[in-house]
Structure formats: structure tokens, C-alpha cells
């Protein structure tokens, strides 16, 4: 089964440090830029990455899409349940290894039939 309503994102590999920074930025966006509204402290970012590493190994930073989605889900659950501590929830967050997309990569200019910036296709 495939969810065709979900956005398709092709994300390149990130280093663990880059993924840590990205999770911090996601946390900041989720808090509308207000550090007082952060749902989790800095140590939760490292703990979440360690959890992902235990669940799917090094794939957590090579294909970061599922790690990012799981972190956003983690924040959503914490926001909806303010009485739950992040430390008790972190081990319950499911993280699955990202499956490669069966969609071809589209480079710049691919499908540009007339040089007008429009893509041509046949049904």
C-alpha cells in the first residue's frame, strides 16, 4: 500500500551532527521560535537520535525522512498530552527504515520539451 496523498521528499544523507541541528530547528519551528515553548530539552534530541540508531542503525541519518517524521510525531504526542514526560515516551516512538522511492529522480531540465520551463508528458 502506498499513500499517494503524502508529499514526496527526496532528502540526501545527513551527518549525525547535521541531523541533530535539523531536529533542533524542527523543535524551534514547532515552538513558533519561542525557546520557552520547546516541548523537549536539548538532551531529548540526543536521546531521540540514540533511539533511532538502536531501532534502524546508521540508516537514521543516511535516509533521514522517517527520522524527521518520527520526531514530528513525537512532538505532536507531547503537545497533545502535556502530562507525559518525554523520557517515558521516547522508547515507544516507532521508527522504521526508509524504503527507497520507486519514483525516478528528476534533474533540472528533465522533461523540458520546448525550453519554456514547462514539462511535457504522455498519458
Q: Is residue 51 part of a domain?
A: yes
Q: Which residues share a beta bridge with 112?
A: 119
Percent of the chain whose predicted confidence (pLDDT) is above 90 = 35
Q: Is residue 28 part of a domain?
A: yes
Q: Is residue 83 part of a domain?
A: yes
Q: Is residue 4 part of a domain?
A: no
Q: How many domains does the chain have?
A: 1
Q: Is residue 48 part of a domain?
A: yes
pLDDT of amino acid 36: 94
Structural contact between residues 65 and 95, judged by C-beta atoms closer than 8 angstroms = no
pLDDT reading at 102 higher than 60: no
pLDDT in tens, 20-76: 999 999 999 999 999 999 999 999 999 988 888 887 666 555 667 778 888 998 999
Bigger pLDDT: 116 vs 60: 116
Domain range enclosing 67: 16-92
pTM above 0.85, yes or no: no
- Please state, as a whole number, how many other Cβ atoms lie within 10 Å of the Cβ of residue 62: 17
Q: Is residue 109 part of a domain?
A: no
Q: Is residue 85 part of a domain?
A: yes
Which of the four pLDDT bands, split at 50, 70 and 90, describes residue 114? Answer: low
Residue owning grid cell 502506498: 2
Q: Is residue 50 part of a domain?
A: yes
- Rounded CA gap, 75 and 63, in Å? 20
Which of the four pLDDT bands, split at 50, 70 and 90, describes residue 107? Answer: low
Which of the four pLDDT bands, split at 50, 70 and 90, describes residue 89? Answer: confident
- Rounded CA gap, 30 and 38, in Å? 8
Task: Tell me the CA distances in angstroms from 118 to 57, 70, 105, 106, 122, one per residue in order.
Answer: 41, 35, 17, 14, 13
Amino acid at each position: 500500500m502506498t499513500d499517494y496523498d503524502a508529499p514526496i521528499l527526496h532528502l540526501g544523507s545527513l551527518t549525525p551532527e547535521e541531523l541533530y541541528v535539523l531536529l533542533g530547528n524542527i523543535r524551534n519551528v514547532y515552538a513558533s521560535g519561542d525557546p520557552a515553548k520547546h516541548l523537549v530539552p536539548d538532551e531529548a534530541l540526543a536521546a531521540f537520535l540514540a533511539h533511532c540508531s538502536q531501532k534502524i542503525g546508521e540508516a537514521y541519518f543516511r535516509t533521514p525522512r522517517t527520522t524527521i517524521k518520527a520526531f514530528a510525531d513525537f512532538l505532536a504526542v507531547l503537545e497533545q498530552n502535556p502530562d507525559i514526560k518525554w523520557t517515558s515516551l521516547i522508547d515507544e516512538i516507532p521508527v522504521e527504515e526508509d524504503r527507497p522511492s520507486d519514483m525516478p529522480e528528476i534533474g533540472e531540465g528533465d522533461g523540458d520539451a520546448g525550453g519554456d520551463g514547462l514539462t511535457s508528458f504522455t498519458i
